[in-house]
A and B are shown apart, each in its own frame.
Chain A
């Protein structure tokens, strides 16, 4: 439920107040999920950002379709808080999660080395896709936090 509009219960309900923007937002996310970056990595980054920003909605909604289709590993999702020490996370996923965390905690703290490492795994196309995705998810998570009541969700 949202305090903004009576009867609005979801992000899509609220975005429907601005149909053109809703359509563009969906198109951007579609392009991100269909781009070259492994959707499993993208989903882990999305959820990690949600935890840092305290967005319970992102945890309670279904996993992203592309990530499920790619076989996202729910054991890794459950271990996300310990990604930096858990050996189940591969090198590419680690550098992306590191960038995602730094992006949301203090974007000015991102280092040349971090970006070079991500580029080494994903290529320049992947860097652009990932950083655009991080920007879009930061918007989405903050939007959810601002407008949706998350107290009734059972997210972890």
Chain B
């Protein structure tokens, strides 16, 4: 597991973060963001249930973020 970013920021003046690193591939990033937004904003599952699932998934996969 890395404790420091493994790629440099793609945005000048911005520290490396998941957002600034993914900016290396802006079209892929935009498509990912669109799908992620749809997951949260559309569909039959309540947002609070989605959040519980997200947190449970983060726990299972040991996601520190």
Give the B-binding residues of A (Cβ under 8 A): 18, 20-21, 24-25, 27-28, 30-32, 34-36, 107-108, 110, 112, 115-116, 119, 123-125, 127-129, 132
Contacts and interface: CB of A to CB of B under 8 A. Distances in A.
Contacts of B61: 107
A28 B31 contact: yes
A127 B21 CA distance: 10
Given A27-B35, A115-B6, A18 B42 contact: yes
B24 A25 contact: no
B28 A116 contact: no
A16 B28 CA distance: 22
Interface of B: 1-2, 6-8, 10, 21-22, 24-25, 27-32, 34-35, 38-39, 42-43, 61-62
Given A21-B43, A28-B32, 12 more contacts: A21-B42, A24-B38, A27-B34, A115-B2, A115-B6, A124-B8, A124-B10, A124-B21, A125-B24, A127-B7, A129-B28, A132-B28
